[in-house]
Amino acid sequence: MKILIINGPNLNLLGKREPTIYGNQSFEDYLDVLKKQYSSDSIDYYQSNIEGELINAIHSADGEYEGVVLNAGAYTHTSIAIADAIGSVSVPVVEVHLSCILSRESFRHISLIAPKCKGSIMGFGMNSYRLGIESLLF
Ligand code: DQA
């Protein structure tokens, strides 16, 4: 299966950013592990801190990929535009979060993108991405 992982704002700093919440591993290191685990699938990766670029990536994924694993970072809680982008494409999008957003600050409890996604996975650290891939494979 051809899968695109998209990470949103501040997720380029995984490994350095708030390690007690997000862990010590960079996403690039984890991606190497994932690519080995899913060597018969094709996994591409895109990261941007810019809302419009994330929207463009979702649009471009349509027809190009069979599934998208999206961690929209803080845009999860604010971006009607990203929710609309997901709703505008037919490629299935799975929402993932490293942390359990429901057990954190109340402003993180709302996901504006969740209603447009195939499903949501949260709270399993980097494994959330792996579970996101699994959910697209079955
Ligand atoms: C996050 C949770 C968001 O609330 C936060 O803004 C992030 C990371 C997560 O993966 O746990 O940037 O999406």
DSSP H or E segment with residue 9: none
Q: What is the pLDDT of residues 80-103, one digit of tens each?
A: 999 999 999 999 999 999 999 999
Q: Is 97 a catalytic residue?
A: yes
Label residue 138 by pLDDT band (50, 70, 90).
confident
Please calculate the CA angle 131-52-69 and round it to the nearest 5 degrees: 10
Let me know: does 83 contact 115? Beta carbons within 8 Å.
yes
CA distance 66 to 91: 6
Index of the ligand 1 atom closest to the CA of residue 72: 13
Q: Is 22 a catalytic residue?
A: yes
Domains along the chain with CATH numbers = 2-137 (3.40.50.9100)
What is the CA(121)–ligand 1 centre distance, in A? 12
* pTM of the predicted structure, to 2 decimals: 0.97
CA distance 87 to 66: 15
Index of the ligand 1 atom closest to the CA of residue 71: 13
Let me know: does 3 contact 41? Beta carbons within 8 Å.
yes
Q: What is the mean pLDDT of the chain?
A: 98
